[in-house]
Each structure stands twice: as C-alpha cells, then as structure tokens.
Chain A
Amino acid sequence: MTTDNVPAAPPVSTGGAAPPGDAAKEQRRANRRSRRYQRDTKWSPYGFIAPFFVFFAAFGLFPLLYTGWSALHRVSLHNPNELEWVGFQNFTRLWEDEFFWNALGNTFTIGVISTVPQLLMALGIAHLLNYKLRGSMMFRVAMLTPYATSIAAATLVFAMLYGRDYGLINWALGLVGIDPVSWEAGSWSSQFAVSTIVIWRWTGYNALIYLAAMQAVPHDLYESAALDGASRWKQFIHVTIPSLRPTIIFTVVVSTIGATQLFGEPLLFAGSPAGGSQSQYQTLGLYMYQMGWFNFHLGRAAAIAWTMFMLLILIGLVYWAITRWVNRDTAGKEA
C-alpha cells in the first residue's frame, strides 16, 4: 500500500443541488470519507466479535440457562420437550441418592490420583528436557503421541492391558511374583487403572507446556544461583518453580476442569454407563449420562449438570483465594 494512492469515493447523488465549486466538492468528499471512516472504526470491532458471541449465545449461554430451567422440571427422554414443574425436587432427590454421592466421591478420588502425579511428573520431565540433550526432539515427539490418541482408542487398549486373565500387565506382574489383580472389579484398582489412562494421555502435553515456560526463565537467574552455590535441586526449587507459578496455576485449573468432566475413560473401560459392577468408578459425568440417556430422566440429568457447575465455581473460588494468599505472601517477602 502506498500513500499517494487515494481511493476515489463512489459517486453519490448530491440531492439535485447546483454543481458546487471545486473546493466545496473536495470538502464534502473529505467529510463523507471521514464519516464513513468513523462508522467503520466504530462498528467493525463489534462485527469481528459478533460471530463468537452469536454462536456462544445460541450453543453455550442459552443451553446453560435452559439446563437450569430443565433441572426444575420432570423431563423424560421419550418426550424431551414436555416439561412438568417439580421445583427443587430433582436436587433434593440427588441429596438422598447414594449413587450420586458415590459418583461425587469417585470423581474426587480419580481426579486427585490422576491430576497430582500427572502434573508432578510433567514438571520433572520438563526439567530434564530443559538440559542440553542429544535427541531432545525425539523425546518430545514420542511423549506427545499419547495426546493425539483419542479417549476411545486409548481406553480400549488399556482395558485390554489391564485384563485379569490374559492382560499384559498381570502377566508382567506375574514375572516378578505378584498375583494377578482383578483391575476392573476392585474399587481402588479400577480407579487406579482409569487414572493411568488420563495420566498417560496428558503427561507429555503438560511437560511441553512447562518446558516452554522454563525456556522463558532468564539464564542469569540460574547463573547467579549457581554462583551462590545452589545445587541443581535448589535451583529447581528456588528459581524454576517460582518463575513457573502462572503456568502451574493454569495447568492445575485446566486439569481440574478436565477431571470434573471425566466421562469417556470410565464409560469405555467396562463398556457400560454404570461404571463397573458396583459403580466403583462411575464419575459424575458418567452418572449424568446414565440418568439421562439410560434411565430417561433428563430433568435429573440437568440437575446433576448444574451441581457439577456449582462445584466448579466453588473450586474456582478456592483456587482464586489460594492464589491471592500465595501472591500476598511473596509480595510481603520481596518488599
């Protein structure tokens, strides 16, 4: 684009007035251009964000609110558009429902035993990858491949690996003299097995995110720490971890949201929405699916969904409070 290329304004009827002088014409053209320019700068930002908000309103916000509305009604899957008002009955029934509490507890334990080791290992791996290494790219690509594997494919493979009689894992345990474990039937063993699928898929991905953040840490911080005689471990604790704090918070929040919604892994691990013969690894997401699409109670499924949402908001507030508290703590130290 060059500056001498002034675009001509399109011919516009001047309303039948007598042809004005050249200067006036120029002036009017300039006015028109500046009005059009103002209109453009004023409205185009809204035009650019409009598609997002239109789709979000139609497929995000409206369903979110309507789910809250459905949760106050009896709605059957057979007749999903017939709502019968029942007030808070769907919620009070959840309160008395042992399967709901079971699913809530399972979601929590599976969430913790999948998220905590996953993020700790990712942090450690990222630290190792941050050294100068030969074949470093090969390690990174290999560790990221599980991320490209779908929940369905990964779970089908792990269900076989964890097979009681002919599974590879029990066979390997047998080699070192451990009796076969009934991975799917046990309570802790099945939750452990489901968690390993989550850990397997996401550790490499999180490691890369940590690695990216580590590479942004200035080198002189490490050099001055080394001059002060800090060991590698001390450097990791006192330089790396504090510099990574925003990234760590980000991954913790994202993993928590993911853990609250866990659905595909427990569904496919046994191939049924019950989450095991004793519902021993049924999560909230899975219970909602069973309630809505197998027991046909869409209203109660909606109530479970809203309960999950409120739990997430609660967890979000707790994280927010912790972050503020930690930040105030360090701000005080630095002052």
Chain B
Amino acid sequence: MHGGWLTYTILAIFTVGSLIPLVWQIIAASHSSGRLAQTPPPLWFGDRLFDNLGSAWTDANLGLALLNTTFVAGTITFSTVLFATLAGFSFAKLRFRAKNLLFLLVIGTMMVPPQLTVVPLFMAVSEVGWTDHLQAVILPMMVSAFGVFFMRQYLSQALPTELIEAARVDGAHSLRVVWHVVFPVARPAMAVLGMLTFVAAWNEFFWPIIALTQRNPTVQVALTNLGRGYVPDQGVIMAGALLGTLPLLIAFVLFGKQIVGGIMHGAIKG
C-alpha cells in the first residue's frame, strides 16, 4: 500500500510540530531579552546567539554540569548494560532454583515509582555526607529491571541453546561462555539498551534535583537555576536549554537511522 497526498500532509504536520519548538528555541537563543519581550515574537535568527550561549555557560555552571552528566550517564549505561546482560542471560538460558519467582520479582520492581525511594535515599545520602557527590546519583541507577527484562526477551530468542552446550562440551566455564558466546550474540541488543539508558540517564531529573545542588550539578539541575533570577533573561534561558540538549541532538543528526531502528527493535512486538 502506498501513501497518498493526505498521508504525506498529516505526517508533514506532525514532523513540523515535533521540530518547531526546537527550531524556535534556537531562534529565541539568538535574541536579547528585550527583543523577546516584543510583539510579534522573532521568527528569524538574531545576532546574539554566542553572547547568550556564553552567559548561559557561566550563569548555570554548564561546563562542570556537562562534564558531570557525561560521567554519570556513561557510568550508569556501562553498569546497566553489563548487569542486565548477565542477569538476562541467566533468566533466559540457565536452570536454577526459584528462577520464575525471582524473575517475577524483577518484573514487579518495574512498578516501583522513584518517588517511593527518594525519602530514605535522601536520609542515607545526608547521613554519609554524599549530598553534592555524583555517586549519590550514580549508585541508585546502576541496575535496571527493564534492562534485565529486555535482555532476557532478546537472548531467549537470539541465543541458540546448542551454542552454549557446545561450548560447555568443550569444557568452557561459565564466564568463558559469557565472554565468547553470550556477549557477541547480545551485542545488538546491548547497543539498543545502552542507547535508551544513556538518553534516560542524561535526562534524569527527579532524584538529581534532590541529591545535588548548584555547586556540583548535572545539566538538568543546572538548567532549573536559569529561570530563577529576579528578571530572568529569556534568551539566556533558551541558550542554556539548547546547550543541555545539544549532545543528544547531535547524536540524533549523526545516528538518527540507527537510533530509530534500535527503538523499533526494542519494542515489544504484538
């Protein structure tokens, strides 16, 4: 079935709707706050983009924030993918006692909202003096129930049991099997999970805003500070928002096709 002109029109409208706020953000980031407080709003780029980017960079401590966020998201992604692959392999292909019960527990943990853990985590963090330290954000997010579920679904289909048995017959112990058989087979799914985890960790908001302050922020925490001035400068706010999103947007321009393929691949099929 081919799409007609109506199909193209509707899709074009949605595409424009998806992109307008981002494009307008760049336009607004290139104007002074005085120009932004006029009617009609600016519809084309002004000349203050680099001034505003510079102000946002210093006002919101964005250099440190970007460095912190890269480190936090990178660490979380690495550990989530590693542990999810190990546990997913175990649940998909190995036999052990209480396996179904334990897997049910993993699924159940996906229902626990972050709000439920925040009060005690905050108590613990302030008790050991980790307020403003990055490990306070990283440690609670090192594993993900969704990741375990996702890797199990993938490996139970993609990894032939005979392959594991053959390696076993050759005398390979479990870690060897994981390294030489499981990891190579799991690589595509690990890439998808890694990408989803990185985006989520980069954009994580609720817990960092409680655990960190402006002295040692992640990007999302730093951005909340921009709007708080007595007379907030809208151009600078937009420039800051742009800087906080830029790394992921660049990744989208470069790897858009793979990212879309990954998300579609990771979807639960009917």
In angstroms, Cα B170 to Cα A5, docked, is 7
Contact with B along A252-292 (1 / 0, CB 8 A): 00000100110110011001000000000000010011001
A159, A167, A204: which contacts B18 (Cβ < 8 A)? A204
In the complex, which residue of chain A has the Cβ closest to the Cβ of B244? Answer: A153
B72 at the interface (CB under 8 A from A): no
Asked if B90 and A48 sit within 8 Å, CB to CB, the answer is: yes
Tell me, yes or no, whether A150 is within 8 Å of chain B by CB.
yes
A128-B10, A166-B41 known; A40 vs B109 contact (CB < 8 Å) = no
Verify if B223 is at the interface (C-beta below 8 Å from A): yes
Query: Which residues of the other chain, B, contact A138 by a CB distance below 8 angstroms?
Result: 15
B91-120 interface mask toward A, CB cutoff 8 Å, 1 = contact, 0 = none?
A: 100111001001000100101111111111
Known contacts A149-B245, A167-B41, A168-B41, A302 near B86 by CB under 8 Å: no
Does A246 reach chain B (CB closer than 8 Å)? yes
With A143-B14, A166-B36 already in contact, the answer to whether A200 and B21 are too (CB < 8 A) is: yes
Q: Nearest CB to that of B69 among chain A residues?
A: A150
Which label, helix, strand, loop or mixed, suits the secondary structure of the B interface? helix
Q: Is the CB of B95 within 8 A of A45?
A: yes
Within 8 Å CB of A285, what residues of B?
Answer: 115, 206
Chain B residues whose CB sits within 8 angstroms of the CB of A104 once the complex forms: none
Q: Is A157 a contact partner of B117 (Cβ separation < 8 A)?
A: no
CB of A233 within 8 Å of the partner chain: no
Q: Complex Cα distance A222/B102, Å? A: 40
- Complex CA–CA separation, A264 to B226 (angstroms): 15
Chain B contacts of A267 at CB under 8 A?
224
Query: Are B119 and A67 in contact, with the CB atoms below 8 A?
Result: yes
Query: B139 near A: Cβ within 8 Å?
Result: yes
B240: which A residues are within 8 A, CB to CB?
156
The listed residue (A55, A217, A301) touching B270 by CB distance below 8 A is A217
Q: Which residues of B lie under 8 Å from residue A157 when comparing CB positions?
A: 21-22, 24-25, 28, 238, 241
**What residue of chain B has the Cβ atom nearest to residue A284's Cβ?**
B115
Given that A70-B120, A261-B113 are known contacts, is A1 also in contact with B220, CB under 8 Å in the complex? no
Also in contact, A247 and B267, with CB within 8 A (given A48-B87, A49-B90, A56-B143): yes
Residues of chain B with a CB closer than 8 A to A304's CB: 115
Stretch at the interface among B44-52, B171-179, B183-191: B171-179
Decide yes or no whether B11 CB sits under 8 A from chain A.
Answer: yes
Whether B269 pairs with A171 at a CB distance below 8 angstroms is no
Q: Interface-forming stretch among A19-27, A111-119, A308-316, A325-333?
A: A308-316
Segment among A91-99, A183-191, A208-216 that sits at the interface with chain B: A208-216
User: Which listed residue (B141, B170, B180, B268) contacts A213, Cβ 8 A?
Assistant: B268
Contact across chains for B119 and A298 when beta carbons are under 8 A apart:
yes
Does A145 contact B223, Cβ atoms closer than 8 Å? no
Q: Does B157 contact A (CB under 8 A)?
A: no
A308 close to B116 (CB less than 8 A): yes
Chain B residues near A120: list those with CB within 8 A.
none
Q: Are B270 and A247 in touch, CB under 8 angstroms?
A: yes
CB of B159 within 8 Å of the partner chain = no
Decide: A247 and B19 in contact? CB cutoff 8 A.
no
Q: Name the interface residues of B192-218: CB closer than 8 Å to any CB of A.
A: 199, 202-203, 205-206, 210
Pull 11 A–B residue pairs with CB atoms less than 8 Å apart, ordered by A: A40-B174, A52-B143, A66-B123, A138-B15, A148-B199, A167-B41, A200-B18, A232-B1, A293-B210, A309-B113, A312-B111
7 interchain residue pairs of minimum CB distance: A141-B256, A131-B3, A63-B117, A44-B174, A212-B267, A153-B241, A48-B90
Q: A residues touching B (Cβ–Cβ < 8 Å)?
A: 1-3, 5-7, 33, 36-37, 40-42, 44-49, 51-53, 55-56, 59-64, 66-67, 70, 75, 80-81, 121, 124-125, 128-129, 131-133, 137-154, 156-161, 165-168, 171, 200, 203-205, 208-209, 211-217, 232, 243-247, 250, 257, 260-261, 263-264, 267-268, 271, 285, 288-289, 292-293, 298, 301-302, 304-306, 308-309, 312-313, 316
